[in-house]
Structure 1
Amino acid sequence: MTKLLGYGFWNGVARLILRNRLFILFLVAAFTVFLGTQWKYMRFTYTEANLLPDDHEVNLEYNKFLDQFGEEGNLIVFGIKDSTLFTPETLNKWNALSDTINDFNEVALSVSLKDLKLLQKQEEPKRFEMIPFVDGSVNTKVQAEALKKKLFKDLPFYEGLIYNKETGTVRSAVYLKKDIVNTAARKDFIVDDLIPLIDQFEEETGITVHTSGMPYIRTLNSATIISEIGWFVGGALLVTSLIFFFFFRSYRATFISMITVVIGVMWAFGFLGLLGYEITVLTALIPPLIIVIGIPNCIFLINKYQQEYKNHGNKIKALQRVITKVGNATLMTNITTASGFATFILTQSSLLKEFGIVASINILAIFLLSLLIIPIIYSYMSPPKERHLKHLGKTWIEGFVNWIERMVRDRRITIYISTVILLIVSMIGIYQIKVSGSLIEDMPKNTTFYKDIKFFESEFDGIMPLEVLIDTKRPKGVMKLPTLKRMDELATTISETPELSKPISIVNLVKYGKQAFYNGDPQYYQLPTSNERNFILPYAQSFSSEAGLLDSYVDSTGQYARMTTFMQDIGTDRMEIVEDNLYNKISILFPEDKFDVTLTGKALVFQKGTNYLINNLIISLSLAILLISIFMAFMFRSFKMILVSLIPNLLPLLITAGLMGFLGVPIKPSTILVFSIAFGISVDDTIHFLAKYRQELKSSGWKIKRSVYASVKEAGVSMFYTSIVLFFGFSVFMISSFGGTVALGGLVSVTLIFAMLSNLLLLPSLLLSLERNIANKEDFKKPAIHILDEVEDEEVLEELEKE
């Protein structure tokens, strides 16, 4: 392996690239066209992210629920909080809207005021007859008021489902067909049909309609993700190109870099299509990430080319040295960056696996593109002019580098004290970090659909379904009166939990049956007694299969029952308390030998996924550190050098974690990514610095101080350039409307700035302080990174010029 990445290998790479320029450009173009044909296979996600492994207990329980009752996230709700609803004209329009929606093939069931059914007892035969709540059009104000009074006073069955008695809010419920909930048909129906109908109603009546429900939220959330991809790519290109031009003051250098990263973005989209992965809130970040990570490659390569040309004025020699001297270090930096992402592959979450696979592949791809395209294009262009090289002598850059050198030479104690203080403060902040598993926390706060979520939380105690699956372990066990009473007591506990809504189950229907048996008197809305049960059940059997609203709350065998409640947007800590309280009550009401009761639902699965990710964060980050340590060991053959190189890169991570605690940024799926990403990228500076340090050691005859200061002066410029580009590049993510993406961009940006300062101040300080223990070791004098000496360099140049 040492020989592979040594002189002979990179000499061969330089010869291969510069001898076969046209053929290589043709291959790049052909592969780009091929990946372009894969764009048509890109798919956008239609479900929430499932962060748990497929065989995780929580997923198995959720799948068991789906096997019994099918997709549970198929409810869309519309709410109106306006006193003018119960006027003839408005009420008729509201009912007409419900009729129109109900006619669509995508709709399984619509429950609006017009769809409500009243139960009436009939004696011959003994049965309940279902009659419409609204019979025809409403023609007078008196009729409208009578309907309002009856709804709020006489129909407790619909309280919490259709109306809020305290605020007067009324809502409609639309259940989509379960087979289209996770398909493009759902999006087409909501965007093309449902939203225009609601807009029309609002325009005609002047009443605001609040719309929500998981299918609706998913659709608009996905649309926002799709729209932001273009903003991210465009923003990343604009910001990085402007900063690149500001540093280099060269249109052609900027243009070449942009061409390189644009091809990289095209490849990123192509790989997503080729692998058949969905575009999620995570994979949507990959194209702009490629821009942000690719530009530093361009900076190192172009900066080295211009420095070499300025030194000796030979274009071919400069291009050859770019490949042979920078290629190895740049390869290693990209491998370490890819490793930071690749650690997600080792998790059991398919979402993170896909993100890790595509990101790591494309990071290596952008390295390959940079190494091929930049030297080849420059080989066809005229040598750099004086104006292209002016940036190499910028006084303000020199001032920054000189300040770094002075600090390292004269203020090392200050650097160490500052490091210790930052470390202590960071540890205090780390202990204040909270965990969030909210399904909607990262959603855009300024959108109407997010505000509508909050409206339904306020009016109906939540919108995210939480399911209770009850297995009675015997056929027809659900309809046993003791079982119904247990369910009713559990429903009371759920209703009394502030974060949960009034649950819906077969219990509600049985209570309504008793009320109907007593001629609709609302005081009898309760479970029947043992004696009453024998009288009421013959009536109830007549409508149980026709009710439509609750027939999916008991399976066909009568063994399984389902209770659906809706939860507010609460954090993981509070949800764990709610869950514990419910399970404590369940353990009392439902003995394990007779019942098997589980809590499930998409929102709960997501929160459990957050906990799973947090538990795996240490493993993922540890793997990244291990992999990168192996690369360091391979490159420098010194265990102590591994420790010295890791310290400046772990410190920024601790500082960032501390900032999260002080700023109240919780640990959640989006911010968990910060640490592995930032670590993989920040180590790049370390590798570039140490690679330059090794070169200086050899050329200076192993004079430590001279090598450190020379490395600061030369590597410091490129490290500063790349860190600034990365800072502003990741800052582009802060234009997102998703809170998690904003946090990711801001935290990675801050981490990389700290990483640059750490690698320019702390790393050289450690090298100087520990020079006797590290740099004079024989194993460090024989690294895997091969530095060409002048004799070898001239031999390579002669071979290339002959060819």
Structure 2
Amino acid sequence: MEAIYRFVEDIFAGLAQIIYRHSLSALLLVAFATIALVTQLPKLTLDTSNEGFFHADSPELLNYMAFKEEFGREDMIIVATETENVFEPVFLRRLRSLHEAMEAQVPYLNEVTSLLNARNTRGEGDELIVEDLFESWPETDDAMEALRQRAISNPLYRNLLLSADGRVTALVVRPSPFAVPDYEGDIMAGFEDMPVGDSAAPAEFLNDRQTAEFVAATLEVVQQFQSEDFRLRVGGMPVMTEVVKQLMRQDMARFLLAAIVGITLLLYLMFRRISGVVLPLLSVLLTLLCTLGLMGLTGVAFKVPTQILPSFLIAVGVGSSVHILSQFYWRFDAGDERIEALTGALRQSGAPVLGAALTTAVGMMSFSSASLAPLAEMGIFAGAGILISLLYTLILIPALLALVPIRRKAPKGSTGTRMDRFLAGCADFAIRHRRTNMLAAAVITLLAVLGLTRLQFEHDPLQWFPDDHTLRTDIESLNESLKGVMTMELVIDTGEENGLYSPPLLQTIDSLAGDVLAIEHRGMSSDKVLSITDVIKEINLALNADQPEHYIIPDNRELVAQELFLFENTGTDDLEDFVDSQFRKARYTVKLPWMGSTIIYGYGNALLDTITNALPENVTTQITGISLLFASVSVKSLDSIRQSYLLAAVVISILMVAFIGDLKLGLAAMIPNLSPILISLGVLGWSGIPLNVFTMFVGSIALGLAVDDTLHFLHAFKRAHMECGSTEAAIRQSFQSTGRALVVTTVALSLGFFLFAFATMQSVMLFGLLTGFTIVLALVADFIVMPAILVWMIPDRSPVAPDGILEESP
């Protein structure tokens, strides 16, 4: 085994000499590869949509896209306001001005619906009339009161456009499902040359940028009308998505700047020289730019979970650089020539740096097969970024060390620094109290494992915001006054053209409303459903002089078909929202309050079971919608956690054994790496804080980073043990040779994550605190538990004659 160690070290020593002799060529090669990737940065996009959480071939996404193409987008922005009397003329004029401003100023708009243009279906003799509720403005108080009574009594308006108590009214602002190009000039010119039929180009769905413009314009109109006596509350998934995106941009810029400043100060305090600051920062910044450029090159958008990627890569990249630089500066200051110092640095630190990079990359790439797209992409590009950082550490930094001016510093005195004395004290404590330390670690880890049994997962972006954030308070208010801002969609397929003319089927669908409204799951229930049966009952009522007993589905198939035909001939296109063109499929909408994804998912299962069991066997039902995509995140995330954590633990254990060259020691060395993760997750379990799409990365990130420290420590121990033969002496020497670098890299890594504590979104803040805490715990475990394992497993031996002098490093 000693021969293998020497062989590996010789490889890295040879690499150092090649780079030193061909430093300019190495820099040119690095520059060419860097430019190739950095030039792809303009192609990088930002996607915070719920659709962005799913792979392109995901069944959930394909079903939703098919639904959008058939029925349009169901996500909406609700703009609501409260007043003593909604039907007071002055208030209604302000509402009309707001409505008209929305229609005039908001791009990519499908429609704005409010009490002013709410569908009002009535009959005059045999004629069916469909018009706006305020088709003509009431001139008298009696006329206004008649309209008020009509609105309050209409079940279609309740808790959609008008609250049950009549004090809150809302505008429902819906985006267009498709991006419609703007035409200039004569729109009829060339009309005969336009493609038709199958040759026509398919319409494109509204993209993320266009949706952002739609939301921004809507919010701008809201701001124009916002006042103390006209308080507007805004909610809905499009607004949530856009606000999250804006906060991501703000936080990313702030975190990057803070991380760079903090790590700059840390590097200067450690090395006290400009090159010790500039070289690591140059390496990590180029790593970050190349990784983002690689995302742009491959067409992968920056998404919600990947906002942690920049700070992660900066922290990891600095850690690798510190190990190489600390070895180089120590040798250079001791009198070695540059080539000797560089050769010695890569000889001692090259192998553990390589092993650390591979284990960290594996820890992240364990998410590459995740069923959620951003988790898989985070794993892939974090892993790729780590490997890019490895190349910069092993090629760029040595090439620059061969060229840049570096001033020698006088060696430190023989008494050592405070850091040396601290590390010596840590070694002494770890060896003297090894049994007590192991027992304490075992008890704490056992308690943490018990906490894991209480750990849950929840995806609820509303809870990411501070309690007093405007969006959060608005949505919570809309949950209360209008019973929610979300919908769950079902598509009922009869399997035959005109199948929806069947009175028995329509009556079954209509009777489902009572069963659906009775569903309750962990506090979630609905108080409103919408379907084609509401339209048919509305028509039948209007054609029968508004007699309440006729608010039913007719028993005659021909009468149903005739009534729907009359409705279409009024000029309204509202049927398109409820049925397909062949009257084969019906849309069934369930309005819901905003709640966490696991609750919504459970409710969706209960809803689908209720409807499927009630309908005939030849009728199929499919559940879809933004809310289902939102809810599916939790289930798929749990699957990803189980799979990725297990894969990371197994593969990293194999790598640990391979790098150490000892099966028993390699497996035992995983104890101080796994226990910090178990403790951190156990703390979440005991505190009742659920995992989310950010904190689920803690385990894989921390495992990869914790193994880094262990590999460096064990590599130093193996070298020292081969030289001196004494296990305890080798442990003490390992603390002195690698301890300083381990402390500095731990501070750098944890600092990079602790900065997230200043994030606006609480989920990101929790992720940063938890990951930083886990990284610190991993160093404590390496300093306290690892020595006990070594004393227990590695006996003293006769020293082996070295090929060269075993140097004491900083």
Distance 1:53 1:260 in 2: 32
Distance 1:525 1:718 in 2: 82
Alignment match, 1:508: 534
Q: How far did 1:219 drift?
A: 2.3
CA contact (8 A) 2:537 2:550 kept: yes
CA contact (8 A) 2:539 2:567 kept: no
CA contact (8 A) 1:95 1:113 kept: no
3-state SS of 1:565 partner? strand
1:96 aligns with 2:118: no
Distance 1:251 1:86 in 2: 71
TM-score, normalised to structure 1, is 0.89
Alignment match, 2:453: 431
Q: 1:157 to 1:388 in 2, by over 3 A?
A: farther
Alignment match, 1:225: 248
1:360-405: per-residue Cα shift (whole Å, max 9, x none)? 111111122223343343434454454796999431x234323321
CA contact (8 A) 1:329 1:687 kept: yes
Q: How far did 1:659 drift?
A: 0.6
3-state SS of 2:670 partner? helix
Overall identity of the aligned pairs, in %: 22
Alignment match, 2:183: none
Please tell me the residue identity of whatever aligns with 1:130: V
Q: 1:541 to 1:393 in 2, by over 3 A?
A: farther
Q: 1:334 to 1:769 in 2, by over 3 A?
A: same
Which residues of 2 match residues 645-794 of structure 1 at below 5 A? 645-700=669-724, 702-772=725-795, 789-790=803-804
3-state SS of 2:80 partner? strand
Q: How far did 1:350 drift?
A: 2.9
1:317 aligns with 2:337: no
Alignment match, 2:128: 128
Q: How far did 1:471 drift?
A: 1.4
Task: From 482, 486, 505, give the equivalent of 2:504.
Answer: 482
Q: How far did 1:767 drift?
A: 0.7
Q: 1:149 to 1:407 in 2, by over 3 A?
A: same
Alignment match, 1:199: 223
Q: 1:149 to 1:645 in 2, by over 3 A?
A: same
Distance 1:420 1:713 in 2: 27
Which residues of 2 match residues 495-534 of structure 1 at below 5 A? 495-497=517-519, 498-520=524-546, 523-524=548-549, 526-530=551-555
Q: 1:62 to 1:189 in 2, by over 3 A?
A: closer
Please tell me the residue identity of whatever aligns with 2:540: K
1:636-672: per-residue Cα shift (whole Å, max 9, x none)? 2211121121111111111111111022221332222
Q: 1:456 to 1:398 in 2, by over 3 A?
A: same
Which residues of 2 match residues 330-409 of structure 1 at below 5 A? 330-386=353-409, 393-395=416-418, 397-409=419-431
CA contact (8 A) 2:73 2:174 kept: no
Alignment match, 1:275: 298
Alignment match, 2:202: none
Q: 1:487 to 1:681 in 2, by over 3 A?
A: same
1:276-317: per-residue Cα shift (whole Å, max 9, x none)? 110101222222211111111122122212222344454432
Task: From 15, 26, 47, give the equivalent of 2:49.
Answer: 47
Distance 2:116 2:650 in 1: 64
CA contact (8 A) 1:462 1:501 kept: no
Distance 1:588 1:378 in 2: 72
Distance 1:444 1:275 in 2: 35
Alignment match, 2:582: 557
CA contact (8 A) 2:73 2:176 kept: no
Q: 1:703 to 1:485 in 2, by over 3 A?
A: same
Please tell me the residue identity of whatever aligns with 1:436: E
Please tell me the residue identity of whatever aligns with 1:457: N
Task: From 5, 8, 23, give the equivalent of 1:6.
Answer: 8
1:528-580: per-residue Cα shift (whole Å, max 9, x none)? 3537x876764443124643344221111112111112333334553454234
CA contact (8 A) 2:368 2:375 kept: yes
Please tell me the residue identity of whatever aligns with 1:479: Y
Please tell me the residue identity of whatever aligns with 2:450: I
Alignment match, 2:649: 625
1:344-370: per-residue Cα shift (whole Å, max 9, x none)? 113343322222221111111112222
1:88-137: per-residue Cα shift (whole Å, max 9, x none)? 333223213222322455222221222123222133xx331123322455
Please tell me the residue identity of whatever aligns with 2:18: L
Q: How far did 1:728 drift?
A: 1.4
Q: 1:303 to 1:549 in 2, by over 3 A?
A: same
3-state SS of 2:439 partner? helix
CA contact (8 A) 2:516 2:610 kept: no
Q: How far did 1:176 drift?
A: 1.5
Q: 1:739 to 1:525 in 2, by over 3 A?
A: farther
Task: From 113, 121, 142, give the equivalent of 1:111.
Answer: 113
1:726-768: per-residue Cα shift (whole Å, max 9, x none)? 1111111222223332222121111111111111111111010
Please tell me the residue identity of whatever aligns with 1:260: S
Alignment match, 2:316: 293
3-state SS of 2:79 partner? strand
Alignment match, 1:800: none
TM-score, normalised to structure 2, is 0.88
Please tell me the residue identity of whatever aligns with 1:680: G
Distance 1:388 1:355 in 2: 44
Q: How far did 1:36 drift?
A: 2.8
CA contact (8 A) 2:77 2:172 kept: yes
Q: How far did 1:60 drift?
A: 5.3
Q: How far did 1:67 drift?
A: 5.3
3-state SS of 2:551 partner? coil
Please tell me the residue identity of whatever aligns with 1:704: T
CA contact (8 A) 1:128 1:540 kept: no
Q: 1:575 to 1:131 in 2, by over 3 A?
A: closer
Which residues of 2 match residues 234-245 of structure 1 at below 5 A? 234-245=257-268
Please tell me the residue identity of whatever aligns with 2:484: G
Q: 1:489 to 1:440 in 2, by over 3 A?
A: farther
User: Any unmatched runs of 5+ in structure 2?
Assistant: 180-205
Q: 1:105 to 1:692 in 2, by over 3 A?
A: closer
Aligned pair count? 773
Deviates more, 1:127-136 or 1:551-560: 127-136
CA contact (8 A) 1:518 1:524 kept: no
1:209 aligns with 2:232: yes
CA contact (8 A) 1:88 1:138 kept: no
Q: How far did 1:441 drift?
A: 3.8
Alignment match, 1:326: 349
Distance 2:244 2:147 in 1: 37
Please tell me the residue identity of whatever aligns with 1:16: I
Distance 1:606 1:515 in 2: 38
Alignment match, 1:165: 164
Distance 1:698 1:669 in 2: 45
Alignment match, 2:485: 463
User: Any unmatched runs of 5+ in structure 1?
Assistant: 782-786, 794-803
1:182 aligns with 2:204: no
Please tell me the residue identity of whatever aligns with 2:789: L
Please tell me the residue identity of whatever aligns with 2:165: E
3-state SS of 1:406 partner? helix
CA contact (8 A) 1:503 1:564 kept: yes
CA contact (8 A) 1:157 1:512 kept: no
3-state SS of 2:402 partner? helix
Please tell me the residue identity of whatever aligns with 2:295: L
Which residues of 2 match residues 55-66 of structure 1 at below 5 A? 58-59=60-61, 61-66=63-68
Higher helix proportion, which one?
1
Distance 1:231 1:681 in 2: 24
Which residues of 2 match residues 16-35 of structure 1 at below 5 A? 16-35=18-37
1:582 aligns with 2:584: no
Please tell me the residue identity of whatever aligns with 1:551: E
Q: How far did 1:224 drift?
A: 2.2
